Amino acid sequence: MQQLKPVDVVIAGGGFVGLTLAKEIASRTPLSVVVLERGKPRKLADYATGMDELDYSLRYRMMQNLSEETATHRHSARASAVPIRQYGSFNPGTGVGGAAEHWGGISYRFYPEQFRLAAFLREKYGSRLAENLAVQDWGFSYEDLEPYYWRGEQLIGVGGRAGNLQGKRVDGGNVFEGARSHEYPNPPHKMTYAATMFEKASRDLGYHPYPVPTATLSRNYTNPDGVSRAACAYCGYCTRYGCMIGAKAQPTNVLMPVLEKRKNFTLRTGCNVRRVLHRDGKAEGLSYFDAAGEEIHQPASIVILASWTLNNSRLLLMSKLGEPYDPATGKGTVGRNLTHQVSQATRVFFDKPLNSFMGAGGLGVGISDFDGKEGLDAYPGVMRGGNVRMMSSGDGPIASFGLIPPGEAESDWGAEFKKAALAWHDRAASITTEAEHLAYRQNYLDLDPTYTDKYGDPLTRMTLDWTEHERAQGGMLTKIHAQLAKAMNARAAAPNSRQLERYTVTQYQSTHVNGGAIMGTSPEHSVVNPWLQHWQSPNLWVVGASAFPQNGSGNPTLTILAITLRAADALIDHYIKNPGALA
Ligand SMILES: Cc1cc2nc3c(=O)[nH]c(=O)nc-3n(C[C@H](O)[C@H](O)[C@H](O)COP(=O)(O)OP(=O)(O)OC[C@H]3O[C@@H](n4cnc5c(N)ncnc54)[C@H](O)[C@@H]3O)c2cc1C
Ligand code: SF4
């Protein structure tokens, strides 16, 4: 075991969260900052050599190697868990930039009442709330977070149209969103044929369509750090790929240009963090295996976990920091409130070609008339809704071939199928939905007692299943899908409702996994305080969607960035000047 010289700050994980914190600390203070990233280095030029759909999108070139490390899953505490051996319901990232190198760029804010959801639901439903509901308030308000949302939007250059500017509703934006202090830094994208049809159909039905906000740049843009990026070329090789011209905001093109100039910043790749070193309630550094397999201790005055939802909880559990959550008693905090995203899709078919090879990860039109608290009166079983969207993310030639309306061919092979596949080529799109996932007592994370990773350490075990509420949310939103498909004169396939019968790890449903090290106002019910500082170890910070008490409907990364920037301010402006608990 090798013991290194102490540094001021050590960060586990070089994704959006880890590198944003590093950028803030290294550029605003003289402190030495080391980021330990388990994967390989990456740069813009890596993506210019070939965007191969088979390699990147279908064989998951940029994702974590599941044969070395994965998670296990079971539906309930009574069941046995088995390892997730193939990429399915979520795609964990690895390497510099993490999953935000190959994300789609969709950049929503959460609704104001999300941040006080427990209080909001109690006020609305009182004693009718199910006993197993575990939603919690975040410990701050939307108004507290708004300046950080705005900073995050400027950092990554989000394009969109405000629907609520300083309290004034603006038609053409999302009129249901919380008040914004500013218009988006960039205008929305040019829209595709499919998105335009969706917009018209939504308006005809009396809904309120808006361009989906996205960090795939709609024009050339220079952010407040002076980092310039080019406008999107609508190449469509976007989600699951790195952008070859840097138009999609990625940690390598937004944060690394600043960090590379800082002498007090060091990025060490190939470093797999195993434990938080701690004594008497104080974090003392991180222990990791380097690429050669040697165990190394990196002492530090401030320790930050930024290794994504599942890994943040796992590192706490493996380090024996905090009390593991026990669903039987409701006691303990580490692992509680595991949530994912309630996703549904309905395939729709048009009689004209859509040119769907063009697009961008975040290009699309959405409605939020059944999102958050809106439009639920006709659906008494639904407490929180979701958005409905038509995205034009760019369809690859392999995955998009063979999409035919129901009844066009008897099987998915043979001459009849091939004829139908050619006739319907480029005529398919999807209406999709992402809805809020509430937290329940029975859904949680712990360490698997059986399965281990390549180092012999226990895998994270996910205990997670859907409830009647998620099925009711799916039922409501797919009815809206059918209504919109009809208004667009499209033929619709049956929605993939089976996905919500039981939680399945085999079908992709977003990489928006949350909880496990949640924030809150009391150490009895949360791992970190509202500044994302560990309740028991004030020099340890646990940052990312692991801190979400439950999930919102919009894609989470902008909210992750906003809470990260808020934590950075607390650390730099308060903790460093006067080390100690901030709450
Ligand atoms: C295909 C896809 C599309 C997506 N599209 C969107 C979208 O459109 N909008 C949106 O809001 N979100 C989207 N997301 C989600 C988004 O990518 C994540 O929310 C975001 O990347 C989270 O950032 P993070 O830094 O917390 O975690 P990550 O990006 O996962 O970064 C964590 C880093 O920590 C490293 N790490 C983990 N464990 C260790 C360890 N033990 N030691 C050292 N390093 C470690 C990992 O290698 C990784 O680099 C998408 C995700 C995927 C996969
Ligand atoms: S669609 Fe635009 S943002 Fe996405 S990879 Fe292509 S050029 Fe980059």
User: How is the chain split into domains, by residue range?
Assistant: 1-157+249-340+446-461+510-583, 159-242+342-436+466-502
Q: What is the mean pLDDT of each run of 10 residues along the chain (583 residues)?
A: 97 98 98 98 86 90 92 96 93 96 97 97 91 96 98 98 97 98 98 97 98 98 98 96 96 98 98 97 97 96 98 98 96 97 95 96 97 94 96 94 92 94 96 97 98 97 97 95 97 84 90 96 97 97 98 97 98 96 94
| CATH of region 159-242+342-436+466-502, choose from 3.40.50, 3.30.410, 2.60.40, 1.10.3470 | 3.30.410
Starting at the earlier edge strand, list the strands of the sheet with 491-492. Answer: 210-211, 364-367, 386-391, 428-435, 342-349, 491-492
How far from 561 is each of 112, 117, 198, 258, 347, CA to CA, in Å? 17, 20, 30, 17, 32
DSSP, residue by residue, 20-67 = HHHHHHHHHS---EEEEESS----GGGGGG---HIIIIIS-TTB--TT
pLDDT at 44: 86
Whole-number Å distance between alpha carbons of 577 and 583: 15
CATH number for the domain whose boundaries are 1-157+249-340+446-461+510-583: 3.50.50.60
Q: Are 348 and 478 in contact (CB under 8 A)?
A: no
The active-site residue, picked from 189, 512, 525, 534, is 512
pLDDT at 496: 80
189 is catalytic: no
Whole-number Å distance between alpha carbons of 516 and 339: 9
Strand ranges for 205-363 from DSSP E? 210-211, 221-222, 228-229, 265-269, 272-279, 282-289, 295-305, 336-339, 342-349
Between the CA of 98 and the centroid of ligand 2 the distance, in Å, is: 18
Between the CA of 193 and the centroid of ligand 2 the distance, in Å, is: 18
Between the CA of 407 and the centroid of ligand 1 the distance, in Å, is: 39
pLDDT at 50: 74
Ligand 1 site residues, Cβ closer than 6 angstroms: 12-18, 36-39, 91-95, 98-100, 102-106, 239-240, 271-273, 306-308, 311, 361-362, 511, 544, 555-557, 560
Residue nearest to atom 6 of ligand 2 (CA): 235
pLDDT at 497: 75
pLDDT at 495: 81
pLDDT at 542: 98
Whole-number Å distance between alpha carbons of 214 and 218: 9
Closest ligand to residue 316's CA? 1
Whole-number Å distance between alpha carbons of 415 and 516: 50
Residue nearest to atom 48 of ligand 1 (CA): 98
Whole-number Å distance between alpha carbons of 448 and 580: 34
Q: How many CA atoms lie within 13 A of 515 on its CB side?
A: 32
Model's pTM, two decimal places? 0.97
Top mutation candidate among 57, 189, 232, 240 for ligand 2, by most atoms within 8 Å of CB: 232
